[in-house]
Amino acid sequence: MTMQYEEIFSRVKADGRGLALVPDEVRNKVLCALADAVIAGKDDLLAANAEDLERMERSNPLYDRLQLTEKRLDDIARDMRHVAALPSPLGRVSKARTLPNGLRLHRVSVPFGVVGVIYEARPNVSFDVFSLCFKSGNACILKGGRDADCSNRAIVRLIHDVLERCAVCGRSVVELLPATHEATAELLAAVGYVDLCIPRGGKSLINFVRDTARVPVIETGAGVVNTYFDEFGDVEMGSRIINNAKTRRVSVCNALDCLIVHSSRLADLPALCAPLAASNVVIYADEDAYTALDDHYPQPLLRHATAESYGTEFMDYAMAVKTVPSIGAALEHIARFGSGHSECIITQDEGRAHEFQAKVDAACVYWNAPTSFTDGAQFGLGAEIGISTQKLGPRGPMGLEELTTYKWIIEGEGQVRE
């Protein structure tokens, strides 16, 4: 480890050590002060973001992820106040018992300590990570991508200004690393300094972090999302759900990638897909679906599916369509091509819905609602530090509770073990 990074990591660990002891009401005041500063500092934040946007083509699907707007800053401030208003996740007793020898045991929630987060072109993540980590008593080390570096630096300057003004802890409870591959490597090897690393981004980033890290990792982000329109699905409802799941924000991990349709409902496929044409969504359809859509969907947007069309996280105005003969075949397709993120069934048959939800192996499984709801704020968590697709530890949107571990507190009166 180079001296430059060891100094940064040491400062974060030192300043974060006492953060859990700061009263919750004091942490809440800091978060509310930061929310006020976001609103007051909009011009500076948007100017820094504009520098980043100038370097990216507007046609790039990541442009939407990178962009900050006045409304998005208002939403960030609102979410931060929501986080402040939530109950503290610390000090909760999840188990308590007295042993036959009189020892009193309590299992109590505590912070992880130092959380490192590696993310790509999403400057809002800087605010989300800090607010959730600060509220849960964790220090954080941010490693953003080059695309958002100007935005991230402006954001962390603002956070440092608020921390210095409030003077309740050291400013190094949050630090931003350089947007370099070297910084990523140093963070992933920071044994003794970093207690947990969370990558937020595409499949290649997550695979690299998992394969390289020497510190504990929770995988988040990669989402190959399917929606199954069952033989008992409602067309009007289905078209709204499909359109919202695909087009609300195409660059986010909960966006729809593949529509699976029961073969008995192919005649309804044009109606299900009709709203997508207004957003110029390219459809990669299998042979049966292509035939059903031919002459009913704009020809320049309709293409034949290939083997690569399935299992692809498009992050763009594009999606696949797969025809299946049964719910069993739909489940097999999801098991093969899904990423364990979010899956949906559209049906009026309650039994089918329960079967789907019981058999699909994913963090979030929907019935008659779009996967666009997979979001920490939508789940009432205030914000999210990521959406975990793994099974060991947190799963789904990770909020305050998911940023804690626990320790055992044991009290006695001089007992000794024989």
Q: What is the pLDDT of residue 200?
A: 86
Mean pLDDT of 42-56: 97
Pairing of strands 302-304, 282-285: parallel
Strands 404-411 and 104-111: antiparallel
Judge whether 232 and 348 are in contact, CB under 8 Å. yes
Mean pLDDT across the stretch 264-280? 97
Of 139, 165, 177, 168, the C-alpha closest to 14 is: 139
pLDDT in tens, 239-263: 999 999 999 989 888 999 999 999 9
pLDDT at 397 over 80: yes
Edge-to-edge order in the sheet of strand 174-176: 174-176, 139-143, 114-119, 196-200
Backbone angles phi, psi at 257, to 5 degrees: -115, -30
The stretch 126-140 carries a mean pLDDT of 97
Distance CA 314, CA 310 (A): 10
Q: Which of 272, 274, 261, 276 is nearest to 237 (CA)?
A: 272
Q: If you average pLDDT over residues 273-296, what whole number do you get?
A: 97
Mean pLDDT, range 290-296, rounded to an integer = 96
Angle at 296 (CA atoms; ends 294, 300), nearest 5 degrees: 65
Residue type, 44: D
Share of the chain above pLDDT 90, in %: 85
Whether the CB-CB separation of 205 and 120 falls below 8 Å is answered with yes
Measured distance CA(343)–CA(333) in Å, rounded: 11
Span 341-350, average pLDDT: 97
Question: In whole numbers, what is the pLDDT of the chain averaged over residues?
Answer: 95
Distance CA 219, CA 36 (A): 32
Residue 116: name the closest of 218, 29, 14, 252 by CA: 218
Q: What is the reported pLDDT for 221?
A: 64
Cα–Cα distance, 90 to 400 (Å, whole number): 9
Q: How far apart are CA 16 and CA 80, in angstroms?
A: 20
